[in-house]
Structure 1
Amino acid sequence: MPNVPERPRRRITLTRDGPMLVEGPVEVVCDDGSVAVSDRFVVALCTCRRSHDYPWCDTSHRRRARPTPEPGPTPEREGDVP
């Protein structure tokens, strides 16, 4: 369209198991009609909806690893034969 000024393009980076990275500043309209604004140069938008700071990603999508037990003697249980 010749009479319409061209809008700057935004770069959006999709990650396999994480957030959507969007070059900012951005204004996000959520499904409930609320608007979230960020002036950062890159923002991470939550795609899993686990974030406590939705629509911004807070890394809640990361799987929590169980701590590995330290090697050593195991505590004796009642009924075990020494």
Structure 2
Amino acid sequence: MPDVTIKTRENGPFLVTGPVTLIDHLGNQYDISGKENVALCRCGASSRRPFCDGTHKSNGFAACELAPQPPAP
């Protein structure tokens, strides 16, 4: 089974790579077949939500925080 990778882009969207199924809060499924990468909005201002349309570049969105590292075993 191929892997799915989700990368955060500094001050930008979530970049999802791999075979995923995207379903909204109402249970509607988006047709993203044939796409290797999907950019999902993090700023909340995209006119194509849940997909990124690049609005984060002009609306002052900033998100460069990092997730904490897991504790060493």
* Fold equivalence (TM over 0.5): yes
Identity of aligned residues (%): 34
Ranges in structure 1 where 5+ consecutive residues have no aligned partner:
1-6, 65-82
Unaligned runs of 5+ in 2: 60-73
Contact residue 21 and residue 45 of structure 1 kept, 8 A: yes
- Residue identity matched to 1:53: R
Rounded Cα–Cα distance in structure 1 between residues aligned with 2:31 and 2:19: 8
Between the two proteins, the alignment pairs up a number of residues equal to: 58
Query: How many angstroms apart in 1 are the aligned matches of 2:57 and 2:26?
Result: 26
Alpha-carbon contact 1:26-1:37 (below 8 Å) kept: no
CA RMSD of aligned residues (A): 1.8
Q: Which has the higher contact order (CA 8 A, sep 6+)?
A: 2
Pick the structure with more helix per residue.
2
- Three-state SS of the structure 2 residue aligned to 1:61 is helix
Aligned mate of 1:52, from 26, 47, 52: 47
In our comparison, the structure showing a higher alpha carbon Rg is 1
Opposite residue 43 of structure 1, the aligned amino acid is V
